[in-house]
RNA sequence: GGCGGCGUGGCCGAGUGGCUCAGGCAGCGGUUUGCAAAACCGCUUACCUCGGUUCGAUUCCGGGCGCCGCCUCCA
């Protein structure tokens, strides 16, 4: 398969370093606030990449980190008057709720920065030893001028960056571009002991240390949002390659941003932005479809209207997969197998999920026709659609019957209503349908039988 | 100001040097149906602008206009 490599600025054929084993390090959250749709898009992009590689037969080790100590976490803990660890754990927990609801495949490991202080310190010491770092009164800085390739990922040159510098440089830095490897603790700040004194890790070093620990000095794929390209990923390269002398990452994978225009992004305007809030109103499959109907690298506009649109579209797929028998069958027909080839062709092309959905909608149309005609091929088409949807991580397709007794009751109600319809007592049969609709149960009369679904 | 990207029909969104120019949503007209829903059939609206290359460009190249991201923590 081909994936777009930010480092090369083009699509490249993906080949792992070692056989069919693939290491992926994906930049997770700084656990300072609730996961929002932008985070979700990133995690979902990583999830699709991982699932598809696994489908293609690769053995994937997937690392998702948590940065669980940083300035904002500390600030928030002061504001709330609680321990900083409580903040980190709160949002980490929310991440896991999102992961579970959205059926994002759990990572192989979830390393936390604070659990890798030793690895981080070893890396900093190594950089200091190699003269890529300098210590000023307990603050250890990375000396950007020492790293020849600085800027190779983001396409920036050191000169430009100096001109464009917009923040007040820390007085202990030699150069405004230098970044922190180890940050000296100010009074009241949490700290860890180190050879440099009490302090905490800098802003980028944890990813370098943890990526190398779990996946080796050179990793196949390192991913995250495009907003991490600079400075986060650029600095990771500088640190890691200076320390090891080896390439840090072979393929850089970055997803596009989620934008909010028109309305201001704030809780007061009622614009839901937290994933857990959105999930109160829309199903995980609708949200997933919304995010995957655009290519992962394109910017994505988020609005209620657009999600509503996605909801209608998803219902078309959902209606189809809830038709007929629940049974799935093996795909034997060569004609049908061609569709799987198409699916692979599109996914191989840098995960072109929009084309995959075009294919799925074609199949839904064909499948519906077969269904109407009572053709056996219906089940085969449905099975392929389910196969593709599962590879993309959609889930929970089965009719949602809250319990057996609800199902049994509905069967009785529908039977009675059927009698009423036969007696042409439509006022009553329509009342039943309306009342059930108000409960969130949709009754649909088909030629031969009546079906129901929950909304 | 610098770097990068984008501009497709009412909306979203793929793609391609020419062959009906994906797909979804919305709209309209049918079929079906007691009605509704679902489904099927049909229809309507494209490729920002100006040049260039070409037999031919929405697709390649250049200018312009507009939009976005990054340049500061950020998925």
Instruction: Say which nucleotide is closest to residue A154, CA to C1' distance.
Output: B3
**Are A31 and A175 found together in one domain?**
yes
How far is it, in rounded angstroms, from Cα A130 to Cα A125? Answer: 9
Per-residue b/e over A91-112, b at no fewer than 16 CB within 10 Å? bbebbeebbeebbbeebeebbb
How far is it, in rounded angstroms, from Cα A66 to Cα A24? Answer: 15
Per-residue b/e over A31-58, b at no fewer than 16 CB within 10 Å? bbbbbbbbbbbbbbbbbbbbbbbeebeb
Domain span at residue A422 reads 404-454
Domain-located, residue A444: yes
pLDDT value at A30 more than 80 = yes
pLDDT value at A352 more than 80 = yes
Question: Strand B: which nucleotides have any atom within 7 A of a protein Cβ?
Answer: 1-5, 11-15, 22-26, 32-41, 68-75
**Are A251 and A144 found together in one domain?**
yes
**Are A250 and A281 found together in one domain?**
no
pLDDT bracket for residue A86 (50, 70, 90): very high
The CATH number of the domain holding residue A372 is 1.20.120.640
The residue among A343, A363, A391 that closes a domain is A391
Distance A381 CA to B17 C1' (A): 35
- Which residues are registered as beta bridge partners of A25? A63, A222
Structure-model confidence comparison of residues A335 and A402, the more confident one: A335
Per DSSP, helices labelled H in A13-83 are 37-55, 71-80
- Counting the structural domains of chain A, the total is 3
Which of A27, A74, A29, A31 has the alpha carbon at shortest distance from A183?
Answer: A74
pLDDT value at A389 more than 60 = yes
Distance A31 CA to B14 C1' (A): 36
Domain-located, residue A68: yes
Please name the residue whose C-alpha is nearest to the C1' of nucleotide B2: A160
Tokens of A138: 């307990």
Domain-located, residue A396: no
Q: Which residue has the tokens 């969130």?
A: A440
Instruction: Say which nucleotide is closest to residue A313, CA to C1' distance.
Output: B24
**Are A291 and A344 found together in one domain?**
yes
pLDDT bracket for residue A199 (50, 70, 90): very high
Neighbours of A293 (CB within 10 A): 18
**Are A174 and A303 found together in one domain?**
no
Domain-located, residue A397: no
Sequence-ordered list of residues with C-beta below 8 angstroms from that of A422, at least 6 positions apart, any chain: none
**Are A158 and A82 found together in one domain?**
yes
**Are A74 and A205 found together in one domain?**
yes
Structure-model confidence comparison of residues A189 and A333, the more confident one: A189
Which of A262, A271, A318, A313 has the alpha carbon at shortest distance from A291?
Answer: A313
pLDDT, residue A398, reads 63
Distance A299 CA to B36 C1' (A): 39
Tokens of A9: 């600025």
Neighbours of A351 (CB within 10 A): 25
Portion of chain A with pLDDT greater than 70, in percent: 95
**Are A318 and A203 found together in one domain?**
no
Instruction: Say which nucleotide is closest to residue A36, CA to C1' distance.
Output: B75
Please name the residue whose C-alpha is nearest to the C1' of nucleotide B22: A358
- Please state whether the peptide bond connecting residue A346 to the residue before it is cis, i.e. omega within 30 degrees of 0: no
pLDDT, residue A120, reads 97
**Are A32 and A127 found together in one domain?**
yes
Domain-located, residue A411: yes
**Are A274 and A414 found together in one domain?**
no
Instruction: Say which nucleotide is closest to residue A29, CA to C1' distance.
Output: B75
């Amino acid at each position: 398969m081909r994936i777009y490599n930010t480092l090369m600025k083009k699509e490249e054929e993906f080949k792992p370093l070692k056989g069919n084993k693939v290491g992926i390090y994906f930049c997770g959250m700084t656990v300072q606030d609730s996961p929002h749709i932008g985070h979700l898009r990133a995690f979902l992009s990583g999830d699709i990449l991982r699932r598809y590689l696994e489908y293609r037969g690769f053995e994937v080790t997937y690392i998702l980190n948590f940065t669980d100590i940083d300035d904002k976490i500390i600030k928030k803990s002061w504001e709330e008057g609680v321990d900083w660890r409580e903040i980190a754990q709160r949002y980490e927990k929310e991440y896991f709720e999102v992961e579970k609801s959205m059926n994002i495949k759990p990572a192989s490991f979830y390393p936390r920065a604070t659990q890798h202080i030793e690895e981080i310190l070893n890396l900093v010491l190594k950089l200091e030893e190699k003269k890529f770092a300098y210590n000023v009164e307990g603050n250890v800085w990375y000396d950007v001028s020492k790293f020849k390739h600085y800027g190779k990922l983001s396409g920036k040159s050191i000169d430009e960056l100096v001109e464009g510098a917009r923040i007040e440089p820390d007085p202990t830095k030699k150069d405004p571009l230098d970044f922190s490897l180890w940050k000296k603790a100010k009074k009241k700040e949490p700290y860890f002991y180190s050879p440099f004194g009490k302090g905490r890790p800098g802003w980028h070093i944890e990813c370098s240390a943890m990526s190398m620990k779990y996946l080796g000095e050179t990793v196949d794929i390192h991913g995250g949002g495009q907003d991490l390209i600079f400075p986060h990923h650029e600095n990771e390269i500088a640190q890691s390659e200076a320390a090891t002398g080896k390439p840090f990452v072979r393929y850089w994978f970055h997803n596009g941003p989620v934008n909010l225009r028109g309305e201001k992004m704030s809780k007061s305007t009622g614009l839901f932005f937290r994933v857990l809030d959105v999930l109160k109103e829309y199903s995980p499959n609708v949200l997933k479809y919304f995010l995957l109907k655009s290519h992962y690298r394109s910017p994505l506009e988020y609005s209620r209207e657009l999600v509503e649109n996605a909801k209608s579209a998803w219902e078309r797929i959902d209606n189809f997969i809830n038709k007929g028998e629940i049974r799935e069958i093996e795909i034997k027909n060569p004609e049908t197998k061609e569709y799987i080839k198409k699916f692979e062709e599109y996914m191989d092309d840098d995960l072109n999920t929009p084309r995959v959905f075009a294919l799925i909608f074609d199949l839904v149309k064909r499948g519906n026709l077969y269904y109407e005609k009572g053709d056996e091929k219906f089940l085969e088409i449905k099975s392929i659609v389910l196969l593709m949807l599962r590879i993309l991580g959609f889930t929970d397709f089965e009719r949602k019957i809250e319990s057996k007794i609800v199902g049994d009751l509905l069967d009785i109600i529908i039977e009675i209503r059927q009698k009423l319809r036969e007696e042409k007592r439509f006022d009553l049969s329509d009342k039943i349908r309306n009342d059930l609709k108000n409960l969130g149960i949709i009754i649909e009369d088909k030629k031969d039988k009546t079906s129901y679904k929950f909304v």
